[in-house]
């Protein structure tokens, strides 16, 4: 192995991780890419390893044996569980925040208190550790009201209750799952996703994106982990980006450093763009899924170099280049998702879909069974296309979707509708 080439281990198995693996595999700094546990798509660009990502000791030993120079942690659960700390203690570089810094995602109450203490704009809220006061509170709160499980819930622990009955049921469901509850005011506006690399002190904003959380067309149906995304988000004007950096992102980074828990990794702010300006809905401490897919397709720079600059604390002298083109992802999910769904159904036609120009099919819940590609998760594929406009990227993505033969899957047909309305209005 050349002295400047490195082995990298990527943790995770979803569409986000396939997009990261795809981008990392193109780096001239890379010697070999491993992924634990990976999926059928990731296997094309990395060696997938049957490691239990909850067994931190096994991961540290694997890294030492394989001379892993950098570990990139994709999902939130291992970050909240302190995997980054254990890798650091083992002398291994890691991209991803410490357990203490990952509380920004691991506890919504922690983040709300941080916003209160450091004057970061967010919805007004109350925290509850017991059901009775929470149930009493929603009886008098204006409707709609937002009820959130305090801990991790894979993007599905949030209820927007439009009736008292729905609010009560949401509160009871949260406590039944064993967590505390945050109840907050309902913010009115347009949502946007904002991503930035943070090295503990310096912040480097990434491209903007918007996703679609609801399962069905017209933003109907239950909340999901995300049914599609596009980048850039035209609603995030340069002025709004600057305001978000000044009022939300930089104060958060300063607050975490002041508290002795500096944040290193990617900070993902879910924003509501209200009449009073951008307000923080919640933080995630990793790349979004499916936002990561559109970001990676637009990134011109070497992702591995950017992640290393973050880990090494040298973002102040680093910059990123992006394709001017737009990118759009359509998620194909198993029928029934986000509820009960069937696994083991066969998917065909991916080669034909990926043959289209500037199209990448990122795998999420897939596995190989001999020659068969099967669906083993709720969100299964992220068909991603790049083109000059969001409208053209959408046309290209759906042309690729049409080539996929998977009767047991479903997808939304209106991904990018807000951006396309803006393009048509010329705003």
Q: Is the pTM for the entire model greater than 0.85?
A: yes
pLDDT digits (tens, 9 = 90+) for 115-168: 999 999 999 999 999 999 999 999 989 999 999 988 776 555 788 889 999 999
CA 385, CA 382: separation in Å to the nearest integer? 10
- Higher pLDDT: 159 or 253? It is 253
Q: Torsion-angle region of residue 4: left (phi > 0), alpha (psi -120 to 50) or beta?
A: alpha
pLDDT digits (tens, 9 = 90+) for 7-51: 999 999 999 999 999 999 999 999 999 999 999 999 999 999 999
State the pLDDT at residue 151.
Answer: 79
pLDDT digits (tens, 9 = 90+) for 264-293: 999 999 999 999 999 999 999 999 999 999
State the pLDDT at residue 153.
Answer: 65
Mean pLDDT, rounded, for 330-353: 96
CA 38, CA 365: separation in Å to the nearest integer? 10
Does pLDDT of 180 surpass 90?
Answer: no
State the pLDDT at residue 154.
Answer: 55
Burial class (CB in 10 A: 0-12, 13-18, 19+), 359: buried
- Higher pLDDT: 177 or 280? It is 280
pLDDT digits (tens, 9 = 90+) for 348-367: 999 999 999 999 999 999 99
Strand blocks (E) in 29-161: 30-37, 47-48, 68-73, 93-95, 125-128, 145-149, 158-161
- Terminal-to-terminal C-alpha distance of the chain: 51
Averaged pLDDT score across all residues of the chain: 94
pLDDT interval class at 176 (50, 70, 90): confident
pLDDT digits (tens, 9 = 90+) for 400-417: 999 999 999 999 999 999
Domains by residue range for the chain, with CATH: 7-98 (3.40.50.20), 124-185 (3.30.1490.20), 190-317 (3.30.470.20), 326-425 (3.90.600.10)
Q: Torsion-angle region of residue 116: left (phi > 0), alpha (psi -120 to 50) or beta?
A: alpha
State the pLDDT at residue 2.
Answer: 43
pLDDT interval class at 302 (50, 70, 90): very high
Mean pLDDT, rounded, for 52-66: 97
State the pLDDT at residue 381.
Answer: 98
CA 198, CA 315: separation in Å to the nearest integer? 8
Residue 375 CB-half CA count within 13 A? 26
């Amino acid at each position: 192995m050349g002295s400047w080439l490195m082995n990298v281990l990527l943790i995770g198995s979803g569409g986000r991780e396939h997009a990261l693996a795809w981008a990392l595999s193109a780096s001239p700094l890379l010697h070999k890419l491993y992924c634990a546990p990976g999926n059928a798509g990731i296997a094309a660009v990395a060696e997938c390893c049957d490691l239990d990502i909850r067994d931190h000791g096994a991961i540290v030993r694997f890294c030492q044996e394989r001379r892993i120079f950098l570990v990139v942690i994709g999902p939130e659960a291992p970050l909240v569980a302190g995997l980054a700390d254990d890798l650091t203690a083992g002398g291994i570089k890691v991209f991803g925040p410490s357990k203490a810094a990952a509380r920004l995602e691991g506890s919504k109450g922690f983040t709300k208190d941080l916003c209160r203490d450091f004057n970061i704009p967010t919805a007004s809220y109350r925290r509850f550790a017991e059901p009775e006061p929470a149930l009493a509170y929603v009886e008098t709160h204006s409707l709609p009201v937002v009820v959130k499980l305090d801990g991790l819930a894979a993007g599905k622990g949030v209820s927007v209750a439009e009736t008292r009955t729905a609010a009560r049921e949401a509160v009871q469901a949260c406590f039944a799952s064993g967590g505390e509850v945050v109840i907050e005011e309902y913010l009115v506006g347009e949502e946007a996703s904002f991503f930035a690399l943070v090295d503990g002190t310096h912040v480097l904003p990434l491209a903007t994106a918007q996703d679609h959380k609801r399962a069905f067309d017209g933003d109907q149906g239950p909340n999901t982990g995300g049914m599609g995304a596009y980048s850039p988000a035209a609603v995030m004007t340069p002025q709004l980006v600057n305001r978000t950096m000044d009022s939300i992102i930089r104060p958060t980074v300063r607050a975490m450093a002041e508290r002795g828990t500096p944040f290193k990794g990617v900070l993902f702010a879910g924003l509501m763009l209200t009449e009073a300006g951008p307000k923080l809905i919640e933080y995630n401490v990793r790349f979004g899924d499916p936002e990561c897919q559109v970001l990676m397709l637009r990134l011109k720079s070497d992702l591995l170099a950017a992640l290393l600059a973050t880990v090494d604390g040298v973002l102040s002298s680093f910059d990123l280049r992006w394709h001017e083109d737009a990118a759009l992802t359509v998620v194909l999910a198993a029928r029934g998702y986000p509820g009960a769904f069937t696994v083991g159904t066969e998917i065909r036609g991916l080669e034909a879909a990926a043959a289209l120009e500037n199209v990448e099919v990122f795998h999420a819940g897939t596995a190989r069974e001999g020659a068969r590609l099967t669906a083993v998760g709720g969100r299964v594929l992220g068909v991603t296309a790049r083109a000059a406009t969001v409208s053209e990227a959408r046309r290209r993505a759906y042309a690729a979707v049409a080539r996929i033969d998977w009767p047991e899957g479903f997808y939304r047909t209106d991904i990018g509708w807000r951006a396309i309305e803006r393009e048509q209005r010329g705003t």
